[in-house]
Amino acid sequence: MTKADLQSILDDKTKPVGSLGRLEKLAVQAASVLGHEQTEEAAATLTIFAGDHGIAANGVSAFPQEVTGQMVANFLAGGAGANAIANTLGIPVTVVDCGIATPPSGRSALVNMRLGEGTADSAKGPAMTSDCARRAVDQGRRYGVDLAGKIACFGEMGIANTSAATLVVHKLSGLEIAKLVGRGTGLDDAALSHKQEVLECAAKRTGQLAPLEVLAEVGGFEIGTMAGAMIGAAEAGKLVVVDGFIATSSAALARAIEPACAKAFVYAHRSAEQGHRALLEWLEADPLLDFDMRLGEGTGALLAVPMIHSALSLFSMASFSQAGVSGAETVAS
């Protein structure tokens, strides 16, 4: 069924045409991916991809690298912001180790997709090998295809991942580093200026690159794996809910690798990170929410799920004929 057919179904519901605004647009997009027979009960999941970044050694984050593993332990214990929101919504959370430098021990619930103990320092050389970049996308793609549920929310964790995301977006889009670099975990002005210098240096190492080359040169294990998961989930007929700056950098990479996957992407929110705003404009994406959030973890994606459920529920409305309600009259000119 085409989007025009789906919109026609909504136009025949007991309401003025277009009166539910962007909720109708969301309903049409979601139904075009999932089918209009889906209801607000379409099951959602959250996957958090975690990995460390060698570029963190340059002091581009306010937090030390070991926080990645510590926060992963917090996710697994149910104590993070993503857990709190997911629990409220009844959405299961899965955490994937794509390459944590110091992973938490004795955590059987942690999904192992390790590609190394964090990437190399992309300010000095490639973040990973070409083979590793392909493996990241391929393993994510398989994960996305096999993922349960119909609505796939993706989040991330990794100290210095805003730096990797900035470089990925810069190489894919050509947007200036100065327009993309942000405070991440809370850098002050001096630290932000230093971060920009480091990223400018990393960016100058290479010229124009193909998508997988971008991932290899400046990306992250979790960014590549999440990009693959987005592709796989879209190929399997799932709706992909894109979170903040890092997740959207993965979405941009996924679109560059497999453009057809973009039709399944719902952009959940506009982050407070300036780079996210610039990236969304470049992608011509219109996010659902703008709450000045910048936590990541998939928190913004989770908040979009009730809106998606509400949008899909519109197809259960009665039509004018079913309800015995007179439709709008055609006024002769």
Residue 106 has a pLDDT of 76
pLDDT score at 105? 83
State mean pLDDT over 301-323.
95
In this model, does residue 256 exceed pLDDT 70? Answer: yes
Whether CATH 3.40.50.10210 fits 44-313: yes
User: Which residues have a Cβ under 8 Å from the Cβ of 331 and sit 6 or more positions away?
Assistant: none
* Cβ atoms of residues 156 and 297 within 8 Å: yes
Query: pLDDT tens digit string along 180-214?
Result: 998 887 889 999 999 999 999 999 999 999 999 99
For residue 94, is pLDDT > 50?
A: yes
% of the chain residues with pLDDT over 70: 97
CB–CB of 73/122 below 8 Å?
no
Stated pTM of the model: 0.95
Answer whether 15's CB lies under 8 Å from 325's CB.
Answer: no
pLDDT tens digit sequence for 123-149: 999 999 999 999 999 999 999 999 999
Task: Say what the pLDDT of residue 331 is.
Answer: 46
Catalytic-residue membership of 297? yes
The Cα 158–Cα 63 span in angstroms is 10
Average pLDDT, the chain: 95
High-pLDDT (> 90) share of the chain, %: 91
SS3 content of the chain, % helix, strand, coil (to 5): 50, 10, 40
The single residue of 37, 156, 297, 329 carrying the catalytic annotation is 297
Is residue 333 very low, low, confident or very high in pLDDT (cuts 50, 70, 90)? very low
Domain ranges of the chain: 44-313
Q: How much is the pLDDT for 254? A: 98
At residue 329 the predicted structure's pLDDT band, cuts being 50, 70 and 90, is low
pLDDT band at 39 (very low <50, low <70, confident <90, very high): low
